[in-house]
Homo-oligomer: A and B are copies of this chain.
Amino acid sequence: MSHDARRYFSLPSPFPMKRGGELHGARVAFETWGALSDARDNALLILTGLSPSAHAASNEQDPSPGWWEAMIGPGKAIDTDRWFVICVNSLGSDKGSTCPASIDPATGEPYRLSFPELALEDVANAAHAAVSSLGIEQLACLVGCSMGGMSALAYMLLHPGSVRTHISVDTAPQAQPFAIAIRSLQREAIRLDPQWNNGRYDDAHYPETGMSIARKLGVITYRSAMEWNGRFARIRLDAEQRDDDVPFGFEFQVESYLEGHAQRFVRTFDPNSYLYLSRASDWFDISEYGEGSIQAGLKRIRVEQALVIGVSTDILFPLEQQEQIAEGLEAAGAAVEFVALDSPQGHDAFLVDIENYSRAIGGFLGRL
């Protein structure tokens, strides 16, 4: 039986939000692995992509595999014998943190669209507050993956001196128009679903179609054409896997793969939370802190060392954006390792190509 390993940190109340408004009685969920050293100098924080929870790996309280199970644990690349690993669920995500599905203490009703506008800076500030509450003044390392990489940039910029080293994984210093277009279309699929009902859905009237289309579009853009050529090619579904009564129904394995991903997702992620976090990703732009220049924004970040990893097959967070981050952190004075991988899995490579990511991340952490 799996138990919940989540712990919760109550955010300062009120908790002011970047774009206006504030939260009262808000909290973030987090999990930890390993032990904090007496000097409190071995803490490693992981900020996640849009949908993962704080359960990055199994632990005593919850032995179920986490979303980065192969990366985190005793003797693994993120070695819990050495590091005190913390993973915080993003503010605005429905995996334990305060989010649009949470009860607004002022009304006793779920926030839904009355949740204040969410920015990744708010996600960063909430994570920083949680880390501080553990008595940690400076992280030994801050790891940010995908959307979490953008939150990490905000974290370092807004809290100077709070991070010694940084690992940037498949992320971006700002959302580019292709990524905005994809996310905008995902949001549109949800909000044009009549069941979304301006955020006032319930279990019986739920924007299942919109969430399914959004998730499939996500999976398509998280992976790569190259991987799929090898994996699915033009393989047809078996007769018993097909529903021939559905006009224009699925015929190819790739279609059924997408359907499986969507079915696992649609009821396990709150649609309003999805909309808020998706929009926050579009809004993020480090150049806001550099008078319109990405490089000037990044130059305000102070870390000693950084590892920046990207993948040539990532169409959502292209390699060129990883190069920008590496250049900016280097210009800011960090010793930067830049690793460009050719993993065929696209944006999701950090979850799949564990061999190459372990080598890069484990190597970097091992040399600290």
- Please pick, from B216, B229, B234, the residue contacting A185 in the complex, using a CB distance under 8 A: B216
Question: Are B192 and A209 closer than 8 Å at their CB atoms?
Answer: yes
CA distance A234 to B282 in the complex (A): 9
- Given A176-B225, A178-B225, 19 new contacts (CB under 8 A): A113-B247, A175-B234, A176-B229, A177-B225, A177-B228, A177-B231, A177-B234, A178-B220, A180-B234, A181-B216, A181-B220, A181-B254, A185-B220, A191-B247, A191-B248, A192-B209, A198-B247, A225-B318, A315-B315
Q: Which 6 A-B pairs have the closest CB atoms?
A: A178-B225, A177-B228, A177-B254, A177-B232, A192-B209, A184-B255
CA distance A199 to B246 in the complex (A): 12
Interface check A250, CB cutoff 8 A = yes
Interface check A157, CB cutoff 8 A = no
* Known contacts A252-B282, A285-B234; is-contact A229 B177 (Cβ 8 Å): yes
Q: Give the chain B neighbours of A252 by CB distance below 8 A.
A: 177, 180, 184, 282
Q: Give the chain B neighbours of A253 by CB distance below 8 A.
A: 177
* Known contacts A194-B194, A247-B199; is-contact A213 B228 (Cβ 8 Å): no
CA distance A320 to B187 in the complex (A): 33
Q: How far is the CB of A244 from chain B (nearest CB, A)?
A: 12
- Please pick, from B174, B181, B187, B192, the residue contacting A228 in the complex, using a CB distance under 8 A: B181
Q: Give the chain B neighbours of A182 by CB distance below 8 A.
A: 220
CA distance A275 to B318 in the complex (A): 32
Question: Are A213 and B234 closer than 8 Å at their CB atoms?
Answer: no
Interface check A188, CB cutoff 8 A = yes
Q: Give the chain B neighbours of A251 by CB distance below 8 A.
A: 282
Interface check A258, CB cutoff 8 A = yes
Interface bits A178-211 vs B (CB < 8 Å: 1, else 0): 1011101101110110100011000000000100
* Known contacts A178-B220, A213-B213; is-contact A184 B228 (Cβ 8 Å): no
